[in-house]
Copies of this chain bind each other. A is one copy, B any other.
Amino acid sequence: MHKGIAHFQVGEKIDGYLLIKSVAKGVASNGKPFLTLQLGDHTGEMEAKLWDCNPDDETTFVSSTIIHVTGDIQEYRGKLQLKIKGIRPTTAMDHVKLADFLQCAPIDPEEMFAKITQYIFEMKNANLQRITRHLLKKHREAFLEIPAATKNHHEFVSGLAYHVVSMLDLAKALANLYPSLDTDLLYSGIILHDLGKVIELSGPVGTTYTVEGKLIGHISIMVNEIGQVANELAIEGEEVMVLQHLVLSHHSKGEWGSPKPPLIREAEILHMVDNIDAKMNMLDRAMERVKPGEFSEKLYAMDNRSFYKPTFSN
């Protein structure tokens, strides 16, 4: 299969490798079990039904398995659906590997890491610089892999790093226009604000919440880590508390998960920069699939609005 799953049309036939991203069992109205598979590759995803499956199928076709599949592309409720004709699990003989089937950030992780490192390198405030460098280094591996969220925005491999890089560039542009901003503080806050997700989320594939993620949450996790790093590095200035405040308040309101609202100028800006980058990511991906003169699907994380693409837009 040469072209990605995202480029198939109704009526075409498929014959190739796909990754099972999630599975749900069902019982059909004739009493027989079936599986609803979410199949994907690096270009996108499509739902598929495996009718009349047997108990073996249920243990073979599980999440994160790469399969070989043949079938027809149909339409169901306005979405494409794959009608499976043949399906088998892959073996070493198939020479396929997981990484080839995942959606990734458009920039190489190492390149993003270098860029973030440069931002840290240029900081003048040694306390902020040391805490930020230490924590980024500590969680480097997971940070470069995990998505920024389980859904809604930047939900792809290396999504968090991509989100952080975009936010840094946006913050730099803002600081040029509003010179009162303390860039060292703002950049530190951006780099660390979601870093607790390396513990909150299970990993880059089939991402779910860990127990610690559910009970403590990435905000409190990172606030704790900042405190512990400051201890380890024997840093005692007000920067520790202020940086904890930036992380603590970056969701802006109690009902959105921040126990304190932003009470420092850079905390307020951090929240807004986070908001803009997340929304632009959602909008860009939604509008890509919309033709001029039409409305997008409803975007849940944007108050369920459908966005319009003007006919005069390019």
Q: Does A107 contact B (CB under 8 A)?
A: no
Q: Does A272 contact B (CB under 8 A)?
A: yes
Q: Complex: how many Å from CA A76 to CA B32?
A: 11
Stretch at the interface among A93-101, A133-141, A152-160, A209-217: A209-217
Interfacial chain B residues near A178, Cβ < 8 Å: 280, 284
Interfacial chain B residues near A182, Cβ < 8 Å: 310, 313-314
- B29 adjacent to A51 (CB under 8 Å): yes
* Residues from 12 to 42 in A contacting B, C-beta threshold 8 Å: 24-31, 34
- B177 adjacent to A169 (CB under 8 Å): yes
Query: What is the distance, in angstroms, from A278's C-beta to the closest C-beta of chain B?
Result: 11
Instruction: Give A contacts to B, CB under 8 Å.
Output: 24-31, 34, 49, 51, 74-77, 81, 83, 125, 127, 166, 169-170, 173-174, 176-178, 180, 182, 185, 211-212, 214-217, 219-220, 223-224, 227-228, 231, 237-239, 241-242, 244-245, 248, 253-265, 268-269, 272, 275-276, 279-280, 283-284, 287, 293, 295, 302-303, 305-314
Could you pull out 26 A-B pairs where Cβ atoms are within 8 angstroms? A27-B49, A27-B74, A27-B76, A173-B177, A180-B284, A185-B313, A211-B293, A212-B241, A214-B260, A214-B263, A214-B295, A215-B248, A216-B241, A216-B248, A216-B260, A219-B259, A223-B223, A228-B231, A238-B312, A253-B255, A263-B306, A264-B310, A268-B283, A268-B302, A269-B276, A272-B276
